[in-house]
Structure 1
Amino acid sequence: MSSAPTSGSHVSVPLTRVVLVAATAALGGFLFGFDTAVINGAVNAIGEQFQTGDLLLGFAVASALIGCAIGAWYAGRIADRYGRIRVMLIAAVMFVASAVGCALAIGVWDFSFWRIVGGLGVGAASVIAPAYIAEVSPPEYRGRLGSLQQLAIVSGIFVALLSDAAIVAAAGTASAPWLFGLEAWRWMFLVEVVPAVIYGVLALTIPESPRYLIARGEMTKAKEVLTRYVGGDVEKVSTDILKTVEGKSERARFSILRRGKFGLLPIVWIGIGLSVLQQFTGINVIFYYSTTLWQAVGFTEQDSLTITVITSVTNIVTTIVAILLIDKVGRKPLLLVGAIGQFVCLGVLTLMFATATVVDGQPVLEGSSGTIALIAANLYVVFFGATWGPVVWVLLGEMFSNKIRAVALSVAAAAQWAANFVISTTFPALASVGLGLAYGVYTFFAFVAIFFVIKYVKETKGRTLESMSEDAPAPVAPKR
């Protein structure tokens, strides 16, 4: 163990060491993506197995989002009371329980219950991963390391879709009996046990957040973590952290959110705004309902599913691009470019579907219109994956002060899941009126996002977490 650094000394930390710790925390994001996407290949089989109507089946699918919002809301409070690592362990247990419970469900109601349990784990993971990664990362690498959360999420989605396809290929259909006589769709959920157990085991090998340790009065342990993982002037950093957390009881950390306009601090409203706008531009419509779009373009159902997998790969690649750019370009420029790009792409989709020929109640894109829509939809995913997807999670992990980070992130993440639920459940109704209307709504919110970024988002690139204000991120200090 290295000796404690003297005041003013600068500690250098090997990047690989921090990457391994951040990647372990980001495994929660992988399970986040896997758990939300794994049901895609099982929906029809579940409906047949339990003989449910469309409304009840829709509830079973969407019930996880209810758990996500609740899990996100309470994760910050639990993290401030019991620590970041314990929240990871609780989430891992919930993922395992949900996977086994869904796989062995005997009816749609107990299946929905276990989906909610899994949602609680997803919600907790969506809060704790960005908060923890921000708190153990050197400032110069924080953006790239924070982006691992989004990379893990989209990778989890891809692996879920891939494992679903592999199981169906092996069993013949999702409803067919497979290993040990269990239907193939049940094995889709059981697969999640493996990464969930790995997540829980690895969580026991990483250190607790130094910000949490100092808040609990464990300064020696905190300095050890700062020395091994954060680096810099450890004495100064630990002193700065102490100044931002001392004198604040647990109750005070929660009540501090209730100051300001409409009961919340301005910075919390900015976090909520980022979260809601990330969802209100309709990204999950592309992932949840993309088959409708591609079939309108003229592809078969099987080809549409293949395109969905390709889209998930595109999301992974663009997230890697974001990782390479975020600490060089900065957060605000990426968000601005992303909002403008999404606005243009969604506007094109709106125009294509609003002017499409309607046959049997469904829009049919003819000639070049289909090609233009296909290109616009994929470019939209590129703009989202390289900007709003990862950057929002990075900002939520670093834009709040030490006093309120975990709790404020909980509020913002809960708002994000609520927005996800609203968009996912309203799309069928909007689409029944016309896909042009649906994409027109998302275009409007992309337009709002442009001005929201310009007016309210401040750059956080290269700043220490201790320099973050409670009311709003301050401008970047000039370089010396």
Structure 2
Amino acid sequence: MAHITDIRTGGASALPPQVSTAKISLVAAVAALGGFLFGFDTSVINGAVGALQTTFAASPWATGLAVSSALVGSAVGAFFAGSMADRIGRARTMGVASILFVISALGSGLCFTLWDLSAWRLLGGVAIGVASVVAPAYIAEIAPAHLRGRLGALQQLAIVIGIFAALLGDYALATRAGSATEPLWFGVAAWRWMFWSALPAAALYGIGALFIPESPRYLVARGNETQALAVLRGLVGDSAPSKVVEIRRSLSTESVPRFRDLRGPRFGLLPIVWVGILLAMLQQFVGINVIFYYSSVLWQAVGFSEKDSLAITVITSFTNIVTTVIAIACVDRFGRKPLLIAGSLGMALTLGGLAYLFGTAGMDAQGNPVLQGTRGMLALICANAYVFSFGFSWGPVVWVLLGEMFPNRIRALALSIAAAAQWVANFAVSATFPSLKGVGLGWAYGLYTTAAVLSLFFAWRYIRETKGKELEQM
């Protein structure tokens, strides 16, 4: 191993790092393309749900399975992503995810039944799960402490931009064809083009992965300190040698992570691992993805046309982008914990409003709630205020925390476990919503309100602030 000598004078009193903010931001943005595909691939089915029900005469249960099958694959991908990233490197792992995204998009658009669509979506879900783990881990490992919160939040920004792009594309394709079920180019139904629209971004992600540098921490762990030094010189300038020494010292106390390293004295796991798991699951139990997977069907159920429902969904996703930008500006200034607490309060109030409005609404002949006039406008305001509350808090901050909260020796493995738990929770919410909608939307939103209240208590009681700390201090 070619070791780098410690050239620091006075230990902690080293010169300020010459950080190349532009280069680090560009590299992080390439990694965050996985987040874009994460958001795009999970949400593109929103505009196709009604068409799938019509084309395949699908029951609510079968529709829920098709929508949420990607989430099962995501849990699998997230579970194995950490060990894959430790074995072949972060950049190569992104390349693997890119290939899976391409195959899934092609297969989904060519599907013959709801069952083979579910299989293609399952494969795409594996790619989503891998991307959801490797991007925050990679960004956390290349970013200096004073930029890590903002750069880590790029993952969530990319996710919400991906959601917006997918829903805007769905709207444009359905409007051009007249309906998602109508033929578009070459006589192929618009809903099939919705799935194929992911192909350009999937290919770009793979190309980008070929050009970004490997994580310096991975390189040092593999004994390639010379290459790690070269990468760090391009990112942090003259402080690169001292950073390599810091990483080496951190790694010297570590071993290859095993599941036994996660064992703790209570409930089988270390307390910090349980915090990560519950943090990830609560992010989904508040029901955010009901808005992004089913909103077009949801707004049609309360009286809006297909075109207007898709337009409302696009507006909602744009709101999510704006609030995520706000979060990026605030996360390193105010910290992670205050944003989580404020977001939980907002979500509890707005979800409670939706639960009341839907729970007390009248019903039409098909048993769908009817929100007219002021009540319909109030529901739209509450839905967008809810997305705003989530967008500046639990959306981006959870990914920032998952990338930085775990000790170095278990980070990749613990992040994989937490991300897998998040996808299981996402699946549970998404798969049950069509059936819950049949029972009553008031009950559904009542459950999500309860989760928001629990998230408030959890953030206040169990989250430790990580603002301004180096990863080696965790």
TM-score, shorter chain, exceeding 0.5: yes
Kept after mapping to 1: 8 A contact 2:136/2:155: yes
Question: Residue 106 of structure 1 aligns to a residue in which SS?
Answer: coil
1:34 lines up with 2:34 in the alignment: no
Q: Provide the identity percentage.
A: 57
Deviates more, 1:125-134 or 1:51-60: 51-60
1:478 match: none
Q: What is the alpha-carbon distance in structure 1 between the residues aligned to residue 236 and residue 261 of structure 2?
A: 27
1:279 lines up with 2:284 in the alignment: yes
Q: For residues 10-409 of structure 1, what are the structure 2 equivalents within 5 Å? A: 10-50=16-56, 52-230=58-236, 233-246=239-252, 248-250=254-256, 252-291=257-296, 294-295=299-300, 298-360=303-365, 361-365=367-371, 368-409=374-415
Q: What is the alpha-carbon distance in structure 1 between the residues aligned to residue 48 and residue 191 of structure 2?
A: 5
2:7 match: 6
Deviation sequence 1:176-227 (CA, Å, 0-9, x none) = 4443444333222222121111110111111111111121122222222223
Q: What is the alpha-carbon distance in structure 1 between the residues aligned to residue 406 and residue 226 of structure 2?
A: 25
Question: Residue 267 of structure 2 aligns to a residue in which SS?
Answer: helix
Deviation sequence 1:249-301 (CA, Å, 0-9, x none) = 43x44431233422221111111111111111111122223346545665334
Kept after mapping to 2: 8 A contact 1:69/1:418: yes
How far did residue 48 of structure 1 move? 4.6
Q: What is the alpha-carbon distance in structure 1 between the residues aligned to residue 93 and residue 106 of structure 2?
A: 20
Question: Residue 465 of structure 2 aligns to a residue in which SS?
Answer: coil
TM-score by length of 2: 0.92
Kept after mapping to 1: 8 A contact 2:5/2:245: no
Q: What is the alpha-carbon distance in structure 2 between the residues aligned to residue 105 and residue 358 of structure 1?
A: 36
Q: What is the alpha-carbon distance in structure 2 between the residues aligned to residue 131 and residue 21 of structure 1?
A: 13
TM-score by length of 1: 0.91
Kept after mapping to 1: 8 A contact 2:60/2:434: no
Given the superposition, is the C-alpha separation of residues 180 and 260 from structure 1 closer, same or farther in structure 2, using an over 3 Å criterion? Answer: farther
Question: Residue 317 of structure 2 aligns to a residue in which SS?
Answer: helix
2:420 match: 414
Given the superposition, is the C-alpha separation of residues 299 and 168 from structure 1 closer, same or farther in structure 2, using an over 3 Å criterion? Answer: closer
How far did residue 341 of structure 1 move? 1.0
Q: What is the alpha-carbon distance in structure 2 between the residues aligned to residue 413 and residue 43 of structure 1?
A: 26
How far did residue 435 of structure 1 move? 2.1
How far did residue 49 of structure 1 move? 4.4
- State the Cα RMSD in Å: 2.2
Question: Residue 228 of structure 2 aligns to a residue in which SS?
Answer: helix
How far did residue 169 of structure 1 move? 3.4
* Unmatched 5+ stretches in structure 1: 469-480
Given the superposition, is the C-alpha separation of residues 430 and 45 from structure 1 closer, same or farther in structure 2, using an over 3 Å criterion? Answer: closer
Question: Residue 112 of structure 2 aligns to a residue in which SS?
Answer: coil
Q: What is the alpha-carbon distance in structure 1 between the residues aligned to residue 166 and residue 113 of structure 2?
A: 23
Question: Residue 12 of structure 1 aligns to a residue in which SS?
Answer: coil
Given the superposition, is the C-alpha separation of residues 125 and 267 from structure 1 closer, same or farther in structure 2, using an over 3 Å criterion? Answer: same
Letter of the structure 2 residue corresponding to residue 453 of structure 1: A
Letter of the structure 2 residue corresponding to residue 209 of structure 1: S
1:428 lines up with 2:434 in the alignment: yes
Q: What is the alpha-carbon distance in structure 2 between the residues aligned to residue 232 and residue 342 of structure 1?
A: 45
How far did residue 51 of structure 1 move? 5.1
Letter of the structure 1 residue corresponding to residue 114 of structure 2: V
Given the superposition, is the C-alpha separation of residues 325 and 60 from structure 1 closer, same or farther in structure 2, using an over 3 Å criterion? Answer: same
Q: What is the alpha-carbon distance in structure 1 between the residues aligned to residue 45 and residue 363 of structure 2?
A: 31
* Unmatched 5+ stretches in structure 2: 9-13
How far did residue 50 of structure 1 move? 4.5
Kept after mapping to 1: 8 A contact 2:233/2:240: yes
Letter of the structure 1 residue corresponding to residue 268 of structure 2: G
Given the superposition, is the C-alpha separation of residues 266 and 445 from structure 1 closer, same or farther in structure 2, using an over 3 Å criterion? Answer: same
